[in-house]
Amino acid sequence: MEKSFTRRLYRPLIEHHFKEYRQMVFLMGPRQVGKTTLCRTLPGVAESDTVYLNWDNLDHRELILKGPKKIAEAIDLNKARKHPPFLMLDEIHKYSDWKTLLKGFFDTYSHYGEIKIVVTGSARLDVYKTGGDSLMGRYLRYRVHPFSCGELITSSPFEGKIRPPSKLNDDEFNALFTFGGFPEPLFKGEMDFYRGWSQLRLQQLFYEDVRDLTNVQEIKQMELLGAIISQQTGSLCSYTSLSKKVRVSIETIRRWLNTLRLMYYCFTIQPWSKNITRSLLKDPKAYLWDWSLVPDKGARAENFIASHLLKTCHYWTDKGEGDFGLYFLRDKEKREVDFLVTKNDIPWFLVEVKQSKQSLSPDLTYFFKMTGAKHAFQVVMDAPYEEVDCFSYDRPIVVSAKTFLSQLV
């Protein structure tokens, strides 16, 4: 695939942020999704004006531990008054007192030459709940996802939420589905490389990130939980069933699942219950950030769509378009629709995923009426691209995944 993965749709967001706001940028996302590359290739950011400190680098760690004053000296504040510097702190959340460090530096030095501060992390920056005062009001967050159909088509911003439909090359669509959306394996497009890369990434996640950021000792059992989740992606997460399979308590399963969410291994979505008669109220569904790890093709297709929807909801929310949420629908009569996207807590559109074209799901029609959503889509993975605006319809319709996903982020 001959596209550069340095041009990301997040670039305009960060550029706009530093033009309009003084707060730090918190860039959150999975390991190897491209956060560091994104920051280090921003237009107008000269290497000579950049101070890059990575907690995993022992020399950098020594400087960080000396505190805000030493970091400020590394930036050279006299020079900063003429050329706004760019400070990037990578994996800083692994430092137990990182919040105090950031608060102290920001409050003391952020006014010097309008220093641009980016904090990145491959685990969520709220992993640690202790140490330091609140950073409220001192940062804005932006969540970086793997590549999607929409971002492969164009990384240019689009005014408004819904894009016009645009065709993605079939080979690129298939590569995205097969290799996942992480830049290196996607653009390399080689199965041998992909297998080695995936294995190494999982080892780093379970045996480095989990070890460094948590008190979990039973890494093998947590790894087993991760494997089970990949095999039952899209199914209801029964904590009781999982506890029996992994042989730990239900409370431990809850805690470990939350840890895997914080480490960007998986994400969960909750059932939507408002205005739904006899709605399911508790168990969530889990999906992987890297859908390529899902072995079953049908389950991978559902995860593929879920990941695109979550990315879209996060991007729109972080961009300030509103508060968007992702849910699923299921009632006690076992009627079910895979996904519901809400805007400001109001149902907007429903999505049911199918591998091949078939008659419209009666459950989709039922919940379309029940929720009062504006749109409802039965998204078909195997259907060819069609030049049609899915969001121009105010009734349930069958649409191609290639068309539908091209209109999202």
Give alpha helix (H) positions in 263-375: 297-319, 362-371
Residues 73 and 196 in one domain: no
Residues 207 and 288 in one domain: yes
Q: Does residue 186 lie in a domain region?
A: yes
Query: What is the band of 129 on the pLDDT scale with cuts at 50, 70, 90?
Result: very low
Which of 143, 159, 189 is the C-terminal boundary of a domain? 143
DSSP string for 126-176: TS--SSS---TTSEEEEE-----HHHHH--S--SSSSPPP-PPPHHHHHHH
Domain range enclosing 103: 10-143
Residues 157 and 132 in one domain: no
Residues 101 and 206 in one domain: no
Provide the pLDDT for residue 134: 73
Helix (H, G, I), strand (E, B) or coil at 46: coil
Q: How many domains does the chain have?
A: 2
Residues 69 and 157 in one domain: no
For residues 112 and 236, which has the higher predicted lDDT (pLDDT)?
236
167-194 pLDDT, tens digit per residue, is 999 999 999 999 999 999 999 999 999 9
Residues 322 and 377 in one domain: yes
Assign residue 74 the CATH number of its domain: 3.40.50.300
Per the CB < 8 A criterion, the answer to whether 53 and 40 are in contact is no
Distance CA 49, CA 69 (A): 18
Residues 357 and 223 in one domain: yes
Residues 132 and 154 in one domain: no
Distant-in-sequence, close-in-space partners of 62: CB < 8 Å, separation ≥ 6: none
Q: Does residue 167 lie in a domain region?
A: yes
φ/ψ of residue 16, rounded to 5: -65, -40
| pLDDT > 70? residue 132 | no
Which of 109, 143, 177 is the C-terminal boundary of a domain? 143
Comparing 20-24, 134-138, 249-253, which segment has the lowest mean pLDDT? Answer: 134-138
Provide the pLDDT for residue 160: 67
- Strands 266-271 vs 396-400: parallel, antiparallel or unpaired: unpaired
**If you search the block for the tokens 């560091």, which residue do you land on?**
36
297-321 pLDDT, tens digit per residue, is 999 999 999 999 999 999 999 999 9
> What tokens appear for 398 in the block?
């069958």
Q: Does residue 2 lie in a domain region?
A: no
Q: Does residue 3 lie in a domain region?
A: no
Distance CA 25, CA 18 (A): 9
Q: Does residue 5 lie in a domain region?
A: no
Residues 129 and 250 in one domain: no
Distance CA 240, CA 80 (A): 57
**Among 30, 222, 258, residue whose Cα is nearest residue 127:** 258
Residues 188 and 46 in one domain: no
Residues 128 and 71 in one domain: yes
**Among 121, 287, 292, residue whose Cα is nearest residue 198:** 292
Which of 123, 143, 163 is the C-terminal boundary of a domain? 143
89-126 pLDDT, tens digit per residue, is 998 988 989 999 999 999 998 877 678 899 998 776 76
| pLDDT > 70? residue 379 | yes
Residues 102 and 53 in one domain: yes
Q: Does residue 208 lie in a domain region?
A: yes
Return left, alpha or beta for 344; rule: phi > 0 is left, psi -120 to 50 is alpha, else beta: left
Q: Does residue 212 lie in a domain region?
A: yes
**Among 260, 292, 11, residue whose Cα is nearest residue 124:** 260
3-state DSSP helix/strand/coil % of the chain, to nearest 5: 45, 20, 40
Taking the complete model, does pTM exceed 0.75, yes or no? yes
Q: Does residue 221 lie in a domain region?
A: yes
